Amino acid sequence: MTELDVVGSIVRGRHGHLMIRQKTGAQIELGDLLIVETNQGYSILQVFDLGYGSQISPKSLEMISGMDVEGYGADLGFMDPNLRNYVIAEVKALVTITDRIRIPKTLPKFLKKVRQIKKSDLTFLTEPDNPVYVGDIRSGTKVLDVPVYLDAEQALTHHILCPATTGRGKSNLIKTMTWSIVPSSKIGLLILDPHDEYYGRHGKGLKDHPEASEKIDYYSPQRYPGSIVPVFNLKTLKTSHFRGIVNFSQAQRQALAVAQREYKEDWIKNIMIGNELPDVGNATKQVLRRVLSTTLDIYIDEKGDIQSNTGTFSSTRGESTLKNILMKLEEGHKVIVDTSLFSDQIELLIGSIILDEILNRYKLHKKNGELDQKPIINAIIEEAPRVLGADAISGGSNIYGDIAREGRKFKVGLTAITQLTSLIPRTVLANMNTKIILGNELKYEREAIINSAAQDLSKDDQNIASLDVGEAIISSNFNKFAIPIQVPLFEDYIKETKPKIKHRPGLVGGN
């Protein structure tokens, strides 16, 4: 370390909370990564707060300032301001690098000099076999040319949470991550897109990937070149698909079970036309008919046939839709379902139909000893509290909650996107083993994020609040420390990766 590299020295503190006196002329930022050398290697420190320090008493400082602003021309020439007044950076040790990566358990030497992190300090980090690109290492606002990857085998099966307020880059992050894994046949991805923003009908999107025609399937009720109209045959729907999506009473759930037992795959048709259900009262049958009609947006026409107002469900078409989606996911395709024209219930029901079937398939694969040969499956769901929130779960379990609890055992995971982490119970958050934390001004939401993080982020409250667009922190059970990153603008990222997708050496957790 040369004198030009030095940005300060450690002057006081304790384990987990060190104070660094900034060198005159140096510029330390909130979130900066700093290096302090040790006997056997070095430690990476992160700045979590900044403040002023001075050798002059507060009363004297107030007097000098007052003389200056009141026009008395306070003369500070009797002291060297560089020695008397300075910036104090509060830092915590993230990780110690010796012959391996270690969690810090000792203090660096007193008055030890520190410097800014360099790319060469991160050469110990390697790329996983199944990489998911999320961004580049960030030190404060400075971005290093060190790409950050998640291990798909770990992160996508053990669930990802992306919490942030509006406008902080959640969609940009998801598009960037998805773009990087489009070529991989080891990862099947289901994206429920309530804003129709991922495929790129109105701008750059996943459709522009060089392998989009072979690896991406786009289902949309809006006609677009290459798209498929999502029509689900009513015979493919099961009563279990409605679990936790529609709030049925106990009597109504029993009636649904009777209908499916009596009429098999034609249970919806027979409820709608009013056929007999053993031991089910007329009032219950009428309620079921009304609820199914409202939820699925279907009705009986003059000929006694079932019709759909949206065209999403049909009694005569769409026999192969579900089968095709499941097949594509098991082939490692990325399936995007545009739900922007659907109601919340229909969007969540479509997801429930697909995920219920894929989870059951993967349970069977595990039973038959075939699971290791199957690709990872991950489902991306926006506004996650709709299905993972306390209110949603209190109304009964649903397939999304089932996957959050047990999906990892069957290589099926969730990527949950939300603005309101506090609405999701701690028991569910605890199962979200990777959290990609973007900016959030709401203190209550930051507290929920911090309290459920894999690493101790108790000192990162201001750091999270100050995260700008695209800046993020990755907290994962599979990393030794929380990793600050900068997610590139999607439009810039795809320029770098087209026409050939090529991974650079980079970062992965789990060492």
pLDDT at 73: 60
Mean per-residue pLDDT, 420-442? 95
Looking at residue 507, its pLDDT comes to 44
pLDDT above 70 (res 196):
yes
Q: Could you give the CA distance from residue 342 to residue 458 in angstroms, rounded to a whole number?
A: 40
Q: Is the pLDDT of residue 504 over 60?
A: no
What are the tens digits of pLDDT across the range 343-376? 999 999 999 999 999 999 999 999 999 999 999 9
**pTM exceeds cut of 0.85:** yes
Residue 505 pLDDT > 60 = no
Could you say which DSSP state residue 99 is in? Answer: S
Q: What is the dihedral of CA 297, 389, 355, 230, to 10 degrees?
A: 30
Average confidence (pLDDT) over 47-69: 80
Rounded CA gap, 254 and 139, in Å? 58
178/394 Cα distance (integer angstroms): 32
To the nearest whole percent, how much of the chain has pLDDT over 70? Answer: 95
Q: Are 169 and 487 in contact (CB under 8 A)?
A: yes
Place of tokens 């409820």: 271
In the chain, what's the furthest Cα-to-Cα distance?
99
Task: Single out the residue of 299, 322, 302, 320 nearest to residue 311, CA to CA.
Answer: 299
Amino acid at 262: E
The CA-based dihedral angle spanning residues 474, 477, 482, 486, taken in that order and rounded to the nearest 10 degrees = -20
Angle between helices 321-330 and 344-367 (to 10 degrees): 50
Mean pLDDT across 159-171: 94
| Domains of the chain from N-terminus onward | 6-117 (no CATH), 131-231+318-497 (3.40.50.300), 234-308 (no CATH)
Question: Per residue in 456-470, pLDDT tens?
Answer: 999 999 999 999 999
Q: Which two tokens stand for residue 380?
A: 């991306």
Average pLDDT, the chain: 91
User: How far is Cα 146 from Cα 135, in angstroms, rounded to an integer?
Assistant: 9
Least Cα distance to 222 among 300, 142, 311, 354 occurs for: 311
pLDDT of 218 > 90? The answer is yes
Phi, psi dihedrals of residue 280, rounded to the nearest 5°: -115, 125
What is the separation, in whole angstroms, between the first and last Cα of the chain? 27
DSSP annotation of 110 reads T
